[in-house]
Amino acid sequence: MPPLKCVGTDFRLSPAQTSNNMTLKIQQIPVLQDNYIYLIHDTASTETVVVDPALAEPVLTCLNENGWQLSRILNTHHHADHTGGNLALKQTTGCQVIGSATDTARIPGIDIACGEGDNIKLGQHTIQILDCAGHTSGHIAFYIATANALFCGDTLFAMGCGRLFEGTAAQMWQALKKFTALPLQTQIYCAHEYTAANAQFALSVEPSNQDLLKTITHVEQLRAAQQATVPTTLAQELATNPFLRPNSPEIQTTLNMQGASELAIFTELRKRKNNF
């Protein structure tokens, strides 16, 4: 296998963000079958963190290529495809591991336990912790307002959402509602490239959504060129992601659930997606 290269953010469903006082660089590393690891580097302080290192080796390669030093690992949840590189990275770089206080027993090498309302500093930037149980009971997300960036692990995907392994549909719905309260231009850095498969399910429940149809064409082009479709944006997801659209009349009609509650519709969508 050729060595993995880290890639910049100059394609995707949303254009790379720019801001005058933006000192953060985000590198996306595709690993395993469909996982993404994210390195976040602050050029002002020269600090670097990594979100969900499934593997250590590609992270070390990316750090070397950029001349960066790793200070922290941020884990969204305990699954091995998000924490598999923790111990090797900690040993090699001396970095600290940050994860959910609910999951101290399951996150390898955890040093700092955190939860809703906690903040982590990255230079001048603040990384806010959002609790988003559902996929797992201790799932958290990392939000950087100054970068318009949300690292949401396996909670929200482009046109999809995470499976409910440990939490309830009500918990997941609450987590998604928390995300939808963020600014529309928020870039959503999902942990998996599931977009093409998610799109087919989305189409099955809302076949005449024009934004969805346009997006699917774009996604097909990106995937044919072996490019990532992630990050996406909140605005994009509100327009195309069935799990964020329980008020869509077409979705309600497809499910034969006109007028049902948002949670009831979300629950039914999640159930159908499991068997899709």
- Residues with a catalytic annotation lie at 77, 79, 81-82, 135, 154, 192
- The single residue among 6, 53, 78, 81 that binds Fe ion, judged by CB under 5 A, is 81
H-helix segments, 95-248: 169-180, 195-205, 210-224, 234-240
Q: How far apart are CA 268 and CA 201, in angstroms?
A: 13
Piece in contact with Fe ion (CB under 5 A), picked from 63-71, 83-91, 146-154, 240-248: 146-154
Q: Which of 47, 103, 154, 268 touches Zn ion (CB under 5 A)?
A: 154
Among 154, 206, 237, 268, binds Fe ion (CB under 5 A): 154
Cβ-Cβ contacts under 8 Å for 202 (sequence gap 6 or more): 159, 160, 209, 212, 240, 241, 242
Report in angstroms how near the CB of residue 18 gets to Fe ion at its nearest. 29
User: To the nearest whole angstrom, how small is the minimum distance from the Cβ of residue 73 to Fe ion?
Assistant: 15
Which residues, 6 or more positions from 62, have their beta carbon under 8 angstroms from its beta carbon?
6, 27, 29, 39, 68
Our CB check for Fe ion shows the closer of 32 and 182 to be 32
Min dist CB 267 to Zn ion, Å, is: 20
Are residues 177 and 131 in contact, defined by beta-carbon separation less than 8 angstroms? no
Spatial separation of the C-alpha atoms in residues 29 and 50, rounded to whole Å: 10
d(CA 72, CA 56): 13
Q: Which residues pair with 30 in a beta bridge?
A: 36
Does 139 bind Zn ion (CB under 5 A)? Our answer is no
**Interface stretch with Fe ion, choices 6-14, 148-156, 166-174, 260-268 (CB under 5 A):** 148-156
Binding pattern for the stretch 205-224 against Fe ion, x by CB under 5 A and - elsewhere:
--------------------
Candidate segments 148-156, 178-186, 193-201, 209-217, binder of Zn ion by CB under 5 A: 148-156
Q: Binding to Zn ion by residue 103, rule CB under 5 A?
A: no
Given CA atoms 209, 210, 211, 216 in this order, what sign does their dihedral have?
positive
> What is the Rg, in whole angstroms, of the alpha carbon atoms belonging to the chain?
18
CB of 270 to Zn ion, least distance (A): 15
Token pair of 104, please?
């101290």
Q: Which is nearer to Zn ion, 77 or 125 (CB)?
A: 77
Q: Does 79 bind Zn ion (CB under 5 A)?
A: yes
**Residue with the closest Cβ to Zn ion?**
79
User: Binding residues for Zn ion, per CB under 5 A?
Assistant: 79, 154
